[in-house]
Structure 1
């Protein structure tokens, strides 16, 4: 036990969990915390230009590092500006610790300056939302928040600290290691559940593994590949989780879901048993219908959280446990049971689907229109990005093409807003990713609309020397919505068209590098040059304003018309 200032206790409790960057905008309610960082250079306060950017940066850092990340903002609008970014962390299961300094405790429920019920506002998008009402409870409740964020299915937490609980206070804190207040070892599957899963899998003629983000959070990516190789099981990935399986694996078909691979969808429809590992079978993975998962398909579902087991599709076996422990136990049990490799016929069918996908993507290098089609941009990017490159993909029409067209070899290299679908995510998330892994090239991919939502964080990148690159495909439109109006409203466009500056020149005004590309043979060289420049950079590529992916609801609408 030791006595220390309350602000120092906050920093020390975060440092125990290896937090080395805190994101936010300076505010008077928490200056006792920032004052600690004047002397303690082991933690850097990344002073952003909008609190939403702070939350996205923390989310990106947490997803890439697997460690908690922190935001520290002021009361009222400072905290409300976090909400969209914290919602992204909630959907992405990122352990982001959001901290807000609040009005004095005695001013609550008096309509005080910047007083809002932040605990209630943040509760729907966090695993835990609490207020600390006593200085002496700071260590206890921070440990509760960190335990909640890092245990089970990870996720964000929110802590509201009134300024008179934090400022000019001394607390007694025991600074124990994480093992003293939270479990470090994940829950293991029951032998009975493993036996039931083996029984189902042994009857399968066309097994297929659907791999989700839970595999990456569990660090079980190698186990997926080993299980696939041992028994010849093909794999597909859930929406936005393309990096959960090395894409060059001979049994990997592609990503399922919205803007995903038609070949992965075909494999899913053919499967008679689906081994779902670490996926909720969420909206943009399955659309909650039978377009991919057939009614007769038997499902073995593994998830750390019971909430989503059998929630959308009936399952033959539900296993609530860590993905890594379950895959290891399953592999051993299948070996003892003498599980044979899947049939040559099924593996050949999968091989044909892989060949078909490869040919389709290669053919897109022949697209020669001007302005460029986004498919051609991605064809050039695949040849320019190294395996260690981290890609943050924004929401929107041009980024959507990337779900089926980018290639990943390593886990924690693909960041997306997932089913939240929020614009403005990619640039700040990429900055957080770069801080988590400074040695890796980091590329954010935006459309023009989403880029301008958080373009101000270019100044943050320049000031802090965070050398991520942003590629902006510019079609001067809200492309996803314009696609709906094109397909379903007879091209009656309202509110879909935009005007933009030259983004390369805008980047230069911020002090970043700017590049402008109009020809496909320039893309690879420019991307490599920007990633190696040692400075934040923006690459603008004008793209075909009439090229849009099919709207997400197209299949449902076609069904109604039929």
Structure 2
């Protein structure tokens, strides 16, 4: 307990509150509005400050840190007005990913009228729609309480970002505070059990199934509770598919793992969901990227058992036969125990054997596919080499865009959580910054970030941050000299009338060297492995500029343009 008889500033109290919450890293960009807070961070040696070049990318770092560590990610925008507005894209991204980001923004003095204040802006209204809650502190005495409340709420199911606006005068004002450093405001674990009656009903329904499939999502992934799911799947001899963007929820090398489902998944996993008679959805909303909210991607006749920690998500997108409001792993263990007690063996051998055969054929065909010559590099050729060369414990971050969407299920993940994507927000410019946050959270992991040339161009300035703080990730730029998704739509649906689709960039490998990072250029498939190995071993931030065939364009959302007439 810090019983401060000596008056301290609101900024000092805010930092002590961060310390109470066991904060180890803070990402931020300094500004005059929050100088008291940054000065307090200078003196607080238990918290490492990482200065970023842009508040948006800093928020992506906090997001990656939060997802990889299963704890909060903290970002401070030191300046009100433009510093706060720069947070918006990153906070909105965190909301779509249900990521517990705590955003702290400076704000104009409470003594000023907003319309007359320097860089004045209604930040409360700005952040309210994209956070679980936004606070604007009007009394310096409650700064520690508000920070505690924010940390608690961001971790409370379903997790998500919060924002605290701290006015200049509130941070400067001095008061006495009682802050218990041994009592954080949050718990990162939920052990909510499923209703016994519903568990029993789910058990009986599963045991009658002929073609059952388990779908696993973030509710299992971020807690790394995959062993509980595998144990249940092995008991039932049932295949597992993963929700889109969560292909790492189950280690790739388990034979019952079919990979990612849906329009952005693979055909084996997708067929299982389309033909299953019973679907056990564990810790997943059955959201947009997995289903497009369409029965074209999930069997309309299937009876769905959904286990979800956020009650309002049960049956939100598809009607369920049994909804179980519970922690995903906890309810999975309950199901396992009930099914084991029944001592009934499911009649699913034909269903599962067919799946195992299809999986083996799919993986063999993928490895043996003729991917053309050494040059130009096809996306599948790049992914094939990455499957060979990346260490099995790698964490991989991806952007949006068609090249990264193709990579999502083409790569292999062994150590959950190890795949970090923009998910339903579909954000370009996310991957590199997110990877820096993941590396800070997991310094022993190999972190590899894939991006297109457009997305990397948006965020390249964070190479300064990576070099300055020794955040040694490897970024692979898939350079096709275009905004690939949009160019594909212009090709397929707008008569090849290209406008704004082609882009030019400097040699990213040379730019990386100018920043003090390592740079590599790859023009042929045969050069990929050597470059990746050298980048990982360099013990520096590294950028590999890979020339990808600019003609390898693919329209992912063809359904969005079916009403167009191709000319």
The TM-score range, normalised by the shorter chain, is over 0.9
Alpha-carbon separation, structure 2, partners of 1:369 and 1:480: 24
Tell which deviates more after alignment, 205-214 or 519-528: 519-528
Kept after mapping to 1: 8 A contact 2:375/2:525: no
Alpha-carbon separation, structure 1, partners of 2:327 and 2:305: 14
Counterpart selection for 1:157 from 138, 153, 162: 162
TM-superposed CA distance for 1:72, in Å, is 0.7
Alpha-carbon separation, structure 1, partners of 2:297 and 2:171: 53
Counterpart selection for 1:43 from 39, 43, 47: 47
SS in 1 for 2:227: helix
SS in 2 for 1:107: coil
Kept after mapping to 1: 8 A contact 2:474/2:536: yes
Tell which deviates more after alignment, 175-184 or 498-507: 175-184
Deviations, residues 387-446 of structure 1 (Å, cap 9, x unaligned): 111111111122121112100011111100011011110010000011001111111101
Alignment of 1:424-443 (within 5 A): 424-443=429-448
Counterpart selection for 2:67 from 63, 70, 79: 63
Counterpart position of 1:454: 459
Counterpart position of 2:505: 500
Counterpart position of 2:422: 417
Q: Does 1:77 align with 2:93?
A: no
Q: Does 1:542 align with 2:547?
A: yes
Kept after mapping to 1: 8 A contact 2:222/2:416: no
Q: Does 1:520 align with 2:525?
A: yes
Deviations, residues 118-161 of structure 1 (Å, cap 9, x unaligned): 12111111111111111111121111111101111111100001
Counterpart selection for 1:297 from 302, 308, 328: 302
Gaps of 5+ in 1: none
Tell which deviates more after alignment, 494-503 or 338-347: 338-347
Counterpart position of 1:134: 139
Counterpart selection for 2:489 from 479, 484, 498: 484
SS in 1 for 2:458: coil
Counterpart position of 1:347: 352
SS in 1 for 2:434: helix
Counterpart position of 2:449: 444
Q: Does 1:391 align with 2:396?
A: yes
SS in 2 for 1:100: strand
Counterpart position of 1:206: 211
TM-superposed CA distance for 1:193, in Å, is 1.6
Kept after mapping to 2: 8 A contact 1:395/1:416: yes
Gaps of 5+ in 2: none
Tell which deviates more after alignment, 242-251 or 353-362: 353-362
Alpha-carbon separation, structure 1, partners of 2:113 and 2:313: 37
Q: Does 1:10 align with 2:14?
A: yes
Structure 1 residues 263 and 222, CA gap change in structure 2 (3 angstroms) = same
TM-superposed CA distance for 1:356, in Å, is 2.5
Deviations, residues 253-275 of structure 1 (Å, cap 9, x unaligned): 12112331111111111211111
Counterpart selection for 1:196 from 196, 201, 225: 201
Alpha-carbon separation, structure 1, partners of 2:25 and 2:187: 22
Alpha-carbon separation, structure 1, partners of 2:252 and 2:347: 20
TM-superposed CA distance for 1:178, in Å, is 5.0
TM-superposed CA distance for 1:17, in Å, is 2.9
Deviations, residues 53-102 of structure 1 (Å, cap 9, x unaligned): 11000001011000111011121110110111111111111111000111
Kept after mapping to 2: 8 A contact 1:233/1:342: no
SS in 2 for 1:411: coil
Relative to the length of structure 1, the TM-score reads 0.96
Deviations, residues 168-197 of structure 1 (Å, cap 9, x unaligned): 422413325456666854322111121121
Alpha-carbon separation, structure 1, partners of 2:487 and 2:477: 18
Count of matched residue positions in the alignment of Structure 1 and Structure 2:
561
Q: Does 1:33 align with 2:37?
A: yes
SS in 2 for 1:246: coil
Counterpart selection for 2:372 from 362, 367, 381: 367
RMSD of aligned residue pairs (Cα, Å):
1.9
Deviations, residues 348-387 of structure 1 (Å, cap 9, x unaligned): 1111221132023202464325210011000000011111
Kept after mapping to 1: 8 A contact 2:10/2:140: yes
Q: Does 1:257 align with 2:262?
A: yes
SS in 2 for 1:194: helix
Kept after mapping to 1: 8 A contact 2:71/2:188: no
SS in 2 for 1:453: helix
Kept after mapping to 1: 8 A contact 2:23/2:47: yes
Structure 1 residues 51 and 340, CA gap change in structure 2 (3 angstroms) = same
Alpha-carbon separation, structure 2, partners of 1:60 and 1:266: 32
Tell which deviates more after alignment, 217-226 or 22-31: 217-226
Kept after mapping to 2: 8 A contact 1:376/1:520: yes
Relative to the length of structure 2, the TM-score reads 0.95
Counterpart position of 2:23: 19
SS in 2 for 1:7: helix
Structure 1 residues 231 and 132, CA gap change in structure 2 (3 angstroms) = same
Counterpart position of 1:100: 105
Deviations, residues 275-331 of structure 1 (Å, cap 9, x unaligned): 111111111110111122111011011111122211111100111111111111111
Alpha-carbon separation, structure 2, partners of 1:560 and 1:333: 55
Alpha-carbon separation, structure 1, partners of 2:491 and 2:167: 51
Counterpart position of 1:333: 338
SS in 2 for 1:24: strand
Alpha-carbon separation, structure 1, partners of 2:204 and 2:559: 38
Q: Does 1:408 align with 2:416?
A: no
Q: Does 1:472 align with 2:477?
A: yes
Kept after mapping to 2: 8 A contact 1:477/1:545: yes
Counterpart position of 1:233: 238
Counterpart position of 1:52: 56
TM-superposed CA distance for 1:556, in Å, is 7.5
Counterpart position of 2:130: 125
